[in-house]
Amino acid sequence: MAARNFTPVNQIRLTNVAIVRMKKGGKRFELACFRNKVMAWRSKTEKDIDEVLQTHSIFTNTSKGQLAKKADLVKAFGTENEEEIVAQILEKGQLQVSKEERDHKNEESFQEVARMVAERCVNPDTQRPYTMTQIERAMKDIHVSIKPNQGLKQQALEVIRQLKESIPVERARMLLRVTIPSTHKPKSLKTTLEGLINIETEEWDDGDLSLTCTIDPGNFRSLDDHVKSGSKGEGTVEILSVTTVNTTDTTLE
């Protein structure tokens, strides 16, 4: 008679699971969850725990199907209520991610950072934008590594600083319209603003001043403060374009 394999009664076999793990009281405890549901639960977009857990059982080793002993659970969590224990592990445990999932997520984040940089930057020698592919290549050349626990926008700003060491790159200037009423000495205020902006057009209408100008994004808040304080809140700063670039050619110079 051919040999048969049996799964011990305290073991459960599961496949295609996302594991949430918590170490407590010197023991390891795990939950078997459906992929992509743990973060939905933590962000409150998923409220049905049965949609998150493949089983309400608590494991010491999910891949081997080994269940946690009740005595170990009580000792570690101070309660026999397994619903409370499951909720605690699900909320505070560490979500285990496979290497393939990590690599895929990292590649997505890398591309998103490259997209952010490409949208915000130009070659200062030509004022032409870089393509996302060009930025990705430049990032790889300087060995940019994405940090999983840091915001992508913050990392994009850091990448811009790093890229300045290898290629000509700077933040694209913003295109604005600044209006100053005649009652608040627009000529004097314009002189104050000239250190922050490059004036493209200047129009006067019954003493009111309208400037179309470009500015480094880092100076926008200062400009806005100057206009508001210099006009007692009656002047305005309107964003016409977040980035101003020369789009006649996108080749890497």
- Give the pLDDT confidence of 31-44 residue by residue, as tens digits: 999 978 998 899 89
Report the first-to-last Cα separation within the chain, whole angstroms. Answer: 76
Q: By percentage, how much of the chain surpasses pLDDT 90?
A: 61
The pLDDT of residue 253 is 33
- Give the pLDDT confidence of 144-166 residue by residue, as tens digits: 999 987 899 999 999 999 999 99
The pair of three-digit structure tokens given for residue 17, joined into one six-digit string = 């699971």
User: Which comes out higher in pLDDT, residue 42 or 250?
Assistant: 42
Residue 21: burial class (beta carbons within 10 Å; 0-12, 13-18, 19+): middle
Q: Kindly state the helix (H) or strand (E) to which residue 179 belongs, with its residue range.
A: strand 173-180
- Give the pLDDT confidence of 172-224 residue by residue, as tens digits: 888 999 999 999 998 999 998 988 888 999 999 999 999 999 988 888 899 99
Residue 100 and residue 108: Cα distance in Å, rounded?
12
Residue 238 and residue 247: Cα distance in Å, rounded?
23
pLDDT at residue 125 above 70? Answer: yes
- Give the pLDDT confidence of 2-27 residue by residue, as tens digits: 444 444 445 555 556 889 999 999 99
pLDDT-based confidence at residue 103 (cuts at 50, 70, 90)? confident
The pLDDT of residue 12 is 54
Report for 13-17, 52-56, 247-251: range of highest mean pLDDT: 52-56
Hey, how many other C-beta atoms are within 10 angstroms of the C-beta on 94? 12
Give the 3-state secondary structure percentages of the chain, helix then strand then coil, rounded to 5.
40, 25, 35
CB of 160 closer than 8 Å to CB of 229: no
